[in-house]
Amino acid sequence: MRERVTAYARRIEAPCTGGEGRLELTVPRAVVTVERLAEGALVRGRRVGARGQSTGPASARRGGASSVIGGASPMTGSASLVARDPLPVAREAAEVWQLAERLTGLLPGAGPLPPGAEALLEGALKHESWLVATLACDVLNRTGVPAVPQFVRDHDPCPAGRHGEPARPRRRPADGGDGSFTERWEARISVDEYALFEATHPAYALQMVELGRSVRAHCRTPPPTVLDVGSGPGLPTVMLAEMFPGARIDAVEPSPAAFPHLLRNAARHSITAYNAGIADFAGARDYPVTVSVGASHHLDTRVFLRGLKRHTAPGGLIVVADEMIAPFTTVAERTRAIIDHHFTYIDQALAHIQEEDLPPAERRRLRALRDPGRRSPERLHALLAETRRDRLFHAGDSSPWQRVRFCVLELEALVAGVDYDVERKTYPENFIALAADEGLELVEHHRVHATVGDRDLDAGTHVIAMRHSGRRL
């Protein structure tokens, strides 16, 4: 325990005192005590004021030290500080932006579909822009058509001689290259399947439109370079390139399983891929815009935020899109929050699928995934083992079978999250408070898609824009 906690303290540059059984870390506005118990570790937080005086408990939970510590800043919730007209779009991106705005205007809640909308959506599903096709897929699904973008249907599952089965790590590495607690993504997630099917994730493209809007709203000039952290196979990176074709995008991704997909997907765009974790990335430290999609929950939140800040110019913009869960204070609450969050996405993705339309292997999988009796914490590993079997590639099948396979990925993330291994989702208040601690000013926050709860700060897909204050902690 001592070794892990002191390594973590070094990484986040927090003074660490104490002995083998009890350690104290001093982070901005909080002191965190990690105590060894017979059955694990007890982590407690105590808020402290600017001069170090105690102001009350911050948080307490059992398990390893992590991103749920701290969090004493006042919440601002959804605050838009758009003060001027957004940046104009580049000529080459005009069609993509125009379609993106039209399609987001068709999302349920915006009223009944106007005449001609169905034809527009069906055409958009086949559009060569991954952003447009993925957005159309989402809108269609929400209006009752379980769609799949054409580029996903056309995707070759065997890049560079690889086969379609999920990548399996030869061994489980101790960390993801950043020296903290991150294990490799492919230890828990079927990366080859992710590269194919993640585009059917609810709000996957919508978060990118919102991220793009944030960049346009809060940059004075078009960014010549953008850093993308945790690009994975690169679908959102490609969408970013479609929205900002004038920018050179540097994509940082440590996973050896995801990297070949990223290289392949980046090839048609102005994207340079770096096979590194953010803590080891040796690139520039003055990006005017840094973004990250779906990656903040894969490493310690402070390590993540510091990594992004380190590479962003003072005054620069950082936009993070990611899934976050409902607030929690105990392991049991966290487990419940993760299960409810991921099963909501699964139910949304499967909502309109007719079992009889699917190939037999996917019918069985669909039944298992929909069975409410198999969703209790103790049955999840068995459900995952069963749904992971027989993942054939149904070339030429026109049913929405890819949606069922996306749900296996969602279940993998759920189970990894419950195990607190690779997946370490937090809640928006905590993320925003930690960002404030790290000298990142909140510019804008939106929950672009809800899973659980009515508040903007409840579970779902969030886009958070922050400004590097220029302060070096």
Ligand X SMILES: C[S@@+](CC[C@H](N)C(=O)[O-])C[C@H]1O[C@@H](n2cnc3c(N)ncnc32)[C@H](O)[C@@H]1O
Question: Would you tell me which residues interact with ligand X (CB under 6 A)?
Answer: 176, 178, 182, 185, 198, 229-232, 235-236, 252-255, 258, 277-279, 293-295, 298-299
CA pair distance 234, 266, nearest whole angstrom: 7
**Shortest Å, Cβ 413 to ligand X:** 7
**Shortest Å, Cβ 99 to ligand X:** 21
Q: Give the DSSP letter string of 100-115.
A: HHHHHTTSTTS-SPPT
- Rounded to 5 degrees, φ, ψ at 422 are 70, -50
Residue among 298 and 403 whose Cβ is closer to ligand X:
298
CA pair distance 292, 310, nearest whole angstrom: 14
**Shortest Å, Cβ 440 to ligand X:** 17
CA pair distance 459, 425, nearest whole angstrom: 10
List the structure tokens of 398: 């026109």
**Shortest Å, Cβ 206 to ligand X:** 13
Residue among 58 and 238 whose Cβ is closer to ligand X:
238
**Shortest Å, Cβ 176 to ligand X:** 4
**Shortest Å, Cβ 304 to ligand X:** 7
Using CB atoms, what's the residue nearest to ligand X?
A: 232
Residue among 294 and 400 whose Cβ is closer to ligand X:
294
Residue 199 CA: distances (Å) to CA of 155, 174, 221, 407, 411: 12, 30, 30, 11, 16
Name the H helices within 351-394. Answer: 360-370, 380-388
Name the H helices within 159-243. Answer: 191-197, 204-218, 235-243
CA pair distance 407, 119, nearest whole angstrom: 27
Residue among 4 and 370 whose Cβ is closer to ligand X:
4
Does residue 259 contact residue 238 with C-beta atoms inside 8 Å?
no
DSSP-derived secondary structure letter, 149: -
List the structure tokens of 264: 């392949």
Residue among 399 and 451 whose Cβ is closer to ligand X:
451
**Shortest Å, Cβ 389 to ligand X:** 23
Residue among 236 and 288 whose Cβ is closer to ligand X:
236
Residue among 230 and 460 whose Cβ is closer to ligand X:
230
